[in-house]
């Protein structure tokens, strides 16, 4: 029974992985708005995905549009970042948003 349930759930996850790969390709082309749109679609499939939330935040932070950058904060809501994840996010994050984050414990 567990195998049958897993096989039923697999197709949406496969689609989400494909969307993440597509978003990464768009990001490499500096098409941050398009990458964010694709990641939003992936997040609808897997709303608990930390990887997708972090990628979405980074793409929004890299957008030249202020409303998009603000969406980056929302994407990270409730997400705990490790040091490597924080380094990636911080590199893309507008400096004025740093005040919204508190350092974690090592």
Residue 104 lies in a domain: no
Q: How far is Cα 85 from Cα 25, in angstroms, rounded to an integer?
A: 19
Residue 102 lies in a domain: no
User: What is the 3-state secondary structure of 24-91?
Assistant: HHHHHCCCHHHHHHHHHHHHHHCCCCHHHHHHHHHHHHCCCCHHHHHHHHHHCCCCCCCHHHHHHHHH
Encoded tokens for 25: 């390709």
pLDDT digits over 25-63, tens only?
Answer: 999 999 999 999 999 999 999 999 999 999 999 999 998
The pLDDT assigned to 4 comes to 46
CATH code: domain of residue 52? 1.25.40
Q: Has this prediction a pTM greater than 0.85? A: no
Range of the domain at 28: 11-97
Average pLDDT score, the chain: 88
Domain count for the chain: 1
Residue 44 lies in a domain: yes
Residue 4 lies in a domain: no
Looking at per-residue confidence, does 8 or 28 come out higher? 28
The pLDDT assigned to 50 comes to 96
The pLDDT assigned to 9 comes to 57
Encoded tokens for 49: 């995905």
């Amino acid at each position: 029974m567990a195998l049958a349930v897993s096989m039923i759930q697999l197709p949406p996850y496969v689609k989400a992985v494909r969307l993440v790969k597509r978003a990464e390709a768009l990001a490499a082309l500096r098409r941050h708005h398009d990458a964010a749109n694709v990641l939003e679609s992936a997040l609808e499939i897997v709303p608990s995905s930390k990887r997708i939330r972090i990628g979405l935040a980074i793409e929004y932070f890299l957008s030249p549009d202020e409303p998009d950058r603000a969406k980056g904060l929302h994407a990270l809501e409730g997400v705990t970042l490790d040091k490597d994840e924080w380094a990636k996010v911080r590199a893309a994050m507008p400096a004025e948003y740093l005040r919204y984050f508190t350092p974690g414990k090592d």
